[in-house]
Structure 1
C-alpha cells in the first residue's frame, strides 16, 4: 500500500506536560508546564486533565442539523433516501418551535462529541436559520449555515423561488453573518433541485457578499451524477455546473465528491474549492469510496475536511469518522496516516472552510475552542492506550475505538461546556446531566 507522503507530522507539536493559557475567549500562551506556569499570576484558575490529550476542537465540515433525529434510519440509496426520509423530516421544520428544538439537539450532540465548529445545512425555511444561529449565539459557538435554495425536483412544501430564495438569503446575511461567531453559507441543496436561474442568483449573491461561504453537494452518487448530466447537458460535468454560475472558489465547500475526475480535482485545486469527505454517510448510502489519496496529491492538493453528514452519517463523533476514513482509504489501496486523519478533523477542516485564522490549532491569538480526550474512557481503549508507543499510535487507537465517551470536556471560546458546566448556557447535552 502507498502511504500519504504529506508534511503532516511537521504540523503536530506534542507536549507531554503542557499548559494552554486562555483569556477573554482566546489562547494567550501555550507551552511546557515548567515554562508557562511560573508566568501566570498568583490565583489563576487551572483546569487539570491528567492522562488526557488536549487539542483544538473538532471541525465538522458538513452536516444537516434538521436531520439529527433521522440518524440510523433504514433506507435506500441517495435519491430514495431523500424521497423516503429526508424531505419528510425537513417539512416538519416548518414549525418554528420544532426548528428551535432541533437546533439545540444538534449543537448539544456536537459539543458532547468535542466538535466546536460546524458547517451545516438548515432547511428551506428562513426561521430554520434564525433558530440555529440563535442557539449558537447563546453558546458563543462558531457555526456556518444558510437557508436551503431549492426551486424544483422537490416537494412543493420545500420549494422556494429564485426571487424568494435570493431575498431571504440576502436578509439572513444581513441579520446574522459576522454577528458574534456566526457565518453565513449560500446553500443550494444540489444542482438537480436548483435551476439555472436560481444557481445564477446564488452566484450573484456571492459576488455581492464575497466573505460568506457557499455550501452544497457534489458527485455523491452515480445515479445523481447521471441525473445532473441529463439536467445540464451543456455543462462538461457536475462541478462545471457550479463553476459556470460562479460558485467555485475559496469558502466554497462541496460535500462528498466521491466520483470526481482528475479535471474536476484540478479545478478544485486551481480555484481553492474545498471538499468535505463524509465516509460514514458514503458507506451508509452505498455511494462509493472517496479518492482521498488522489485529492491530496501534493502536485495539486485539494482542500479537504471531514464531515459527519448527519443524518445519513452514522455518528456525530469526528474520531469515529476518522476511523471510517481510514477504512475507506484501505479499500482504495492506501494507508491513511493517523496524524493526517487528525489534521483533516481539525486544522485541515479549518483550512477547507477558510477559517484557519480563527480555529484549528492551539496558537496564541486563536479562539480557545478545545477538546479534552480521555484515552482511558473505556476498558478496551485503555488497554490499547497503555501499549501505544507513540502519539500517532494513540491517535489511531482513539479513531478506531473511540466515540463520544472519549470526550472528557469541551471548551467553547475558553468556557467549559462539559456535563457539569453546559447547563449554564441554557440546556444540557443529550444524554448528560
Structure 2
C-alpha cells in the first residue's frame, strides 16, 4: 500500500517566474492549503477542505499557519570549507592560500571527510536546505564521503572532485590525466545513483593548466548529461591573474570556452565582473549563473548584476558559497541578495528572492522538474517556514496585508529558528 499523508498549512506555489511576470501574479497562495504526498512525491496541492474531503482516510500532519514551501536549493558551496567558515580579513587569492588550501589538505583522510560531510548536510537541513551543489577536494575519497552522507539522508545533491594542477600546494595538485581518470571513475560510480548527480569540477582557470582544462572538456563531451561547475569573474585581481596566465584568451569565459567548458549544463559561480562579450555568450549558450551574495560581500568581491543578467534571459540561481559565504541559511542569502539589489538600484521582490532560492536554482541545475517547486510529480522535498519565529519578526508580520509582506520579514531577519519542519522525499528530516 502506498505510503501517503496530507501536509496542512499555508501553501505558496509558483506558476511562472516572477522575473517574467508581475511578481505578485507569479505564485498562488492558499491560507488553508494542503499537499498530498505519496511514495515520496507530491501528488496534489490544493485547498485543505477539498483535499481532506477527497482523501478522508489519509493521515494528516497539521502545521497550522506555517508556510509550506519547496526545500531550498543551495546551488554553489564547498563542503570542505565548513570548518573554516567566517575566517577573518582576506580577499580571494590570499583567502585561498591562508585558509582554504590548508583546510582542504585534510580531506585525504576519509574519516575526516565523512565527519565534515555529515556536519555540513545536517547544518543544511537545519536551515531548510534540501539540495546542495558542492565542490569537494582533489581527493576522490572526499567525493565518496559527501555522496555517501547525502545518500544516508536521501538528499538530492550534486558534487564533483575539484581539479587543480597548478598554483596550489603540491599536496593539493593532481594532473591533467589523473583529473580526467579520477573524475571519470567517480562519475561512473555516483552519477544517477539514488539522488546523486555528478558535476565535472575544475576549480577555476588559474589552478588548471590548459592541458587539464582540455582533458576535462573532453570528459564533459563524453558525458554531456552531467553538469560542469566552476568559478567565473569573482574579483578584479583574479581576472587580471587569468589574463596573465591565458594571454591569448579574449576574456575569462574564453578560457573555458576554448577547451569545451561552456554549455547549457555549465554552472558558473559568482560572475560579477563580466564583459559584454561574456554576457552575450552566456545568453547564447543558455549557461547558468549562481549568485553568491553573502560570499561576495564577505570577501569583498563586488555586486552581481541580477537585473541586467536576468534581462538577458540567463538562468540564475542562489547559493551560500560556504565557506566564503558566512551563513548556511538561504534566508540570509536571500536577504543579502536583496541588499545587493538595493545597492544596484533594483529592489528584488520577495517572490523573486524566494524563486531564486528554490525553482531558479533548480532550473540552473536542470532539475526543475524534480526539486525546487510544489508541482505535481516533484519530489516531496518540503520546508515549513514559521513566519513569526522571533518576537521582532512576529511584530512586523502582524502588520502584513498580504503574503509577501508577511514573508519578507522572515527573509530579512530569519535563520534556522524559522524552520519549523523539513521533509526529504516525504520523510520527516527535521
- Shared fold (TM-score, shorter chain, > 0.5): yes
Whose strand fraction is larger, Structure 1's or Structure 2's?
2
Q: CA deviation at 1:11?
A: 3.1
Equivalent residue runs for 1:276-315 within 5 Å:
276-297=290-311, 300-315=312-327
Q: Unaligned 5+ residue runs, structure 1? A: 419-433
Q: CA deviation at 1:4?
A: 6.7
Q: Unaligned 5+ residue runs, structure 2? A: 1-17
Distance 1:356 1:187 in 2: 21
Contact 1:252 1:273 (8 Å CA) reproduced: yes
> For 1:28-79, what per-residue CA distance to the aligned partner results, in whole angstroms no more than 9, with x for missing partners?
111001111111151x221111121001000001000000111111131000
Say whether residues 1:365 and 2:377 are aligned partners: yes
Contact 1:4 1:335 (8 Å CA) reproduced: no
> For 1:330-375, what per-residue CA distance to the aligned partner results, in whole angstroms no more than 9, with x for missing partners?
1111111111111000001111111101111101111000000001
SS at match of 1:183: strand
Contact 1:4 1:334 (8 Å CA) reproduced: no
Contact 2:381 2:426 (8 Å CA) reproduced: yes
Distance 1:245 1:93 in 2: 29
> For 1:191-250, what per-residue CA distance to the aligned partner results, in whole angstroms no more than 9, with x for missing partners?
000011111111111111111110111000000000001111111100111111111122
1:109 aligns with one of 117, 123, 126: 123
Distance 1:292 1:6 in 2: 16
2:53: which partner in 1? 38
Distance 2:420 2:354 in 1: 18
Distance 1:184 1:10 in 2: 35
User: RMSD between aligned alpha carbons?
Assistant: 1.2
Say whether residues 1:154 and 2:175 are aligned partners: no
Contact 1:4 1:337 (8 Å CA) reproduced: no
2:198 aligns with one of 184, 190, 194: 184
2:30 aligns with one of 15, 18, 37: 15
Equivalent residue runs for 1:162-241 within 5 Å:
162-241=176-255
SS at match of 2:63: coil
Relative to the length of structure 1, the TM-score reads 0.94
Distance 1:7 1:271 in 2: 26
Q: How many residues align?
A: 413
2:360 aligns with one of 324, 348, 351: 348
Contact 2:31 2:65 (8 Å CA) reproduced: no
SS at match of 1:163: helix
Question: More displaced, 306-315 or 386-395?
Answer: 386-395
Higher relative contact order (CA 8 A, sep 6+): 1
Runs of 4+ in structure 1 deviating by more than 6 angstroms, as ranges, are none
Distance 1:72 1:79 in 2: 16
Q: CA deviation at 1:8?
A: 4.0
Relative to the length of structure 2, the TM-score reads 0.94
> For 1:144-164, what per-residue CA distance to the aligned partner results, in whole angstroms no more than 9, with x for missing partners?
000011000000000001111
Distance 1:68 1:28 in 2: 36
1:64: which partner in 2? 78
Distance 2:193 2:180 in 1: 20
Pick closer, same or farther for the CA change 1:10–1:245 going to 2, 3 Å: farther
Q: CA deviation at 1:5?
A: 6.8
